[in-house]
Amino acid sequence: MNLWFRLLYMLFRRPWRQPVSGRVTTVVRMRVWPLDLDLNRHVTNGRYFNLADVGRMDYVLRSGAFRVALRHKAVPIVGDVWGKFRRELKLFERFEIHTRILAWDAKWNFMEHRFISNGRVVGVVVMRGLFRSGKGTVAPGEFVQEMGLAPQSPPLPEWLRAWAQSCDDLSLQLRDEERVTA
């Protein structure tokens, strides 16, 4: 099924889905369709990132984050995404995407999307992103506070801190390379 149809289906069902607190894990149920598959007949690696977008949209709508973004005239920006694949998802298999906010720092919000089938985690997508308005980046602590959460983030697990540092290091390297070629 095309990703747009999944997104529209999720939006259509929204009025019947309950709003949630920003610390709650949201769940979107899906099925693997032929357009999700690669030549090996399982969900293509890139599709996990696209499906995570649908889970994230559900979270943003249900948690009220979209209202905060509207107040700030801000748009969501994905900075970095990382995936861990443990088992394949095959044609017509049912699965769920469990989405939650893990933590935030001075610049980034960190979110996790767990792909679960038959009670087992088959993959995880981690994303760090922010909300940007015409005035610049909306501070994550301020943003989550407007969602009703404490401005102080839960501690970042060491693996998440290391991943974020590697993303920052790569960004610095790319900036340095651009300066050399300019």
In-domain check, residue 110: yes
Q: Give strand ranges (E) for the chain.
A: 26-31, 75-85, 94-104, 109-117, 120-133, 136-137
In-domain check, residue 50: yes
pLDDT digits (tens, 9 = 90+) for 75-96: 999 999 999 999 999 999 999 9
Average pLDDT, the chain: 91
In-domain check, residue 166: no
pLDDT digits (tens, 9 = 90+) for 107-136: 999 999 999 999 999 999 999 999 999 999
SS3 track for 125-163? EEEEEEEEECCEECCHHHHHHHCCCCCCCCCCCHHHHHH
| 144-158 average pLDDT score | 94
State the residue range of the domain holding 143.
3-153
In-domain check, residue 177: no
Would you say residue 15 has pLDDT above 70? no
In-domain check, residue 159: no
Q: What's residue 78's pLDDT?
A: 96
Q: CA-to-CA distance for 108 and 126, rounded, in angstroms?
A: 12
Would you say residue 9 has pLDDT above 80? no
In-domain check, residue 144: yes
* pTM exceeding the 0.85 threshold for the entire prediction: yes
Q: What's residue 1's pLDDT?
A: 44
Q: What's residue 18's pLDDT?
A: 79
Q: How many domains does the chain have?
A: 1
Q: CA-to-CA distance for 172 and 134, rounded, in angstroms?
A: 24
Q: What's residue 23's pLDDT?
A: 86
In-domain check, residue 162: no
pLDDT digits (tens, 9 = 90+) for 163-181: 999 999 999 999 999 988 7
| 3-23 average pLDDT score | 72
Which pLDDT band, with edges at 50, 70 and 90, does 16 fall under? low
pLDDT digits (tens, 9 = 90+) for 31-41: 999 988 988 89
161's CB contacts (< 8 A; 6+ apart) are none
| 62-83 average pLDDT score | 95
The CATH number of residue 69's host domain is: 3.10.129.10
Exposure pattern of 92-101 as b/e (b: 16+ CB <10 Å)? ebebebbbbb
In-domain check, residue 46: yes
